[in-house]
A and B are shown apart, each in its own frame.
Chain A
Amino acid sequence: MKTKLRLLKCLVIMLFLASTLGAMAQGPYPNQGAQAVCLTGVVEPYGVINTVGSTYAWSVIGGATPADWVLTSTTSNLATVLWKTAGTYTVQIIETNAAGCISAPVTVVVTVNPLPVVALNGPSPVCINSTGNVYTTDAAMTNYVWSVSAGGTITAGGGLNNNTVTITWITATPQTVSVNYTNGTSCTAASATVFNVTVNPLPTTSPIYHN
């Protein structure tokens, strides 16, 4: 009986602890501190932990609106920003509480990185079944994503870590090879760069006629 009571007490305490931890203030978004974003054209959300009765004034320091950024929404403790020009900016909030007292400004530095312009070069036109057609994109990037149309066979490269792909074209119809990657600032182009390849058939030489 005593053991059961102890167990029950323990359970109650654990439940209490769990509920306390659960009630601790959580940020509206997962990350804090300096932020690097890519110039994706997607609005970025920002927020502070809400205090009941407080009002919040959001601002962006650096650049100019609307050329470089647009504070697309400010709703109490939450705001969204559309970044439009690469650069370094500061997002700032000032809180005024129910008593009319004003906080020191709280800021976060946001570095807006441009998207990469993915180069892609290689031979075209090529002859069907010719080998060793090497297509090359920018080196020293990560997460290369290659795509080759159905008329090509990859003979080398083309992996996540390769900035080249070697293709044997086996169908004499218009083909494509495309690539995208993630650059040093973790930005990826909005869409892969597509390179069109013309594959010519081999000449069909008539039989050799003779007397």
Chain B
Amino acid sequence: MKSIILLFITIVILILFPKFNFGQTAPTLGATSGFALFTATGAFDNTGTTLVTGDIGSNSASVTGFPPGSIVGIIHASDATTVQAASDVATAYSDLTQGGSVIGVTLGNGQILTTGVYQTGAASTLNGNLILDGQNDPNALFIIRIGGAFATSINSTITLIDSASLCNVYWQIGGQFDLNDGSTFMGTVIVDGAINLFDGSTLLGRGLSTGGAISLYNNVVRFLPATAGTITGTAAVCQGQTGVIYTVPPITDAAGYIWTLPAGATITAGANTNSVTVTFSATSGNIAVQGSSSCGNGMISANYAVTVNPLPIASDIYHQ
């Protein structure tokens, strides 16, 4: 009898969690999820025209270098948010301690990794290109654990193929992280040490430190789709009009597009793309759009005001 009950419970659990993966789980980012760059303890400096999309901050120091750096997001310095984030980044770091297949300490040079947990066990480097292959699963999770400091060579890159998403790539780095000049790195990097982004390097993801300075230099850092551009379309339409097209330039890193329409208006074609066909009801209002990805939604566009003109109502026809 007991074994039957156990079997039943097991079956129910398997039905409820069909994609439950016993091998790997994404970390809980908590309050750090809105940060592009964060350190629990350490200085936060920028040199040059760094562009960050997402919040930045330190729980122990003020942020310097913005400007000349620019940010689409909020700068936090030792506030309630950073207190929570400091706690949560430690949790996230420990969440990533999940064992993993052992790989060599020199990554890259065309190396291909598929979904899974990997560990190097010692300080490591990235040279050339590392390919992360999603094997057509948009939820493919990659956890790469570096057992010490991690540095890339100049102009090294990470390439995502076959539906791999930078939102599902996590790095646990047990020491300082150096992203060398001109390199492009992807994923949420949770570092037990300093984060140094050298001249012209790009981090598509987050850089979160449990303790260590963050130093930036002419970088691009973002994990959300870019801010939506300017909407073009028809500014004055008639009540009930169909087939009205609105377009926004393609948004970098957007997997989808979230459109906001005046009340009663509906999208009849192109939903979730950068060009939608709209049918209006009777209400004027604003159209706006933002890019979306599995990392979250990008900054919303400026409002595009649309006037919905009522239809004329001709009087009865009069006659003799």
Inside 8 A of B239's CB, which chain A residues have their CB? 101
- A46 on interface, CB distance cutoff 8 Å: yes
Inside 8 A of A25's CB, which chain B residues have their CB? 315
A108 touches B316 (CB 8 A): yes
B319 touches A54 (CB 8 A): no
Binds A, one of B4-12, B130-138, B194-202, B304-312: B304-312
B314 touches A44 (CB 8 A): no
Interface membership of chain A positions 20-36, coded 1 if the CB is closer than 8 angstroms to chain B and 0 otherwise: 00000101111111010
- A82 on interface, CB distance cutoff 8 Å: no
Query: Which chain B residues numbered 284 to 320 have a C-beta less than 8 Å away from chain A?
Result: 309-320
A-B CB pair tally, cutoff 8 Å: 81
B238 touches A99 (CB 8 A): yes
Inside 8 A of A28's CB, which chain B residues have their CB? 318
A30 and B312 contact, Cβ closer than 8 Å, known pairs A100-B238, A101-B238, A101-B239: no
Inside 8 A of B309's CB, which chain A residues have their CB? 97, 99-101
A32 touches B312 (CB 8 A): no
Inside 8 A of A49's CB, which chain B residues have their CB? 315, 318
B312 touches A96 (CB 8 A): yes
Inside 8 A of A93's CB, which chain B residues have their CB? 314, 317
Inside 8 A of B320's CB, which chain A residues have their CB? 29-31, 44-45
A31 touches B318 (CB 8 A): yes
- B236 on interface, CB distance cutoff 8 Å: yes
A113 → chain B closest CB, angstroms: 15
Interface centre among B314, B317, B318 (most CB of A within 10 A): B317
B310 touches A101 (CB 8 A): yes
Which of these, A27, A56, A96, A100, contacts B318 with CB under 8 Å?
A27
28 sample A-B contacts, Cβ–Cβ < 8 Å, listed by A number: A25-B315, A27-B316, A29-B318, A29-B319, A32-B316, A32-B317, A44-B319, A44-B320, A46-B317, A47-B319, A48-B316, A48-B317, A48-B318, A49-B315, A93-B314, A95-B312, A95-B313, A97-B312, A99-B236, A99-B309, A101-B238, A101-B309, A101-B310, A101-B312, A103-B314, A106-B314, A106-B316, A108-B319
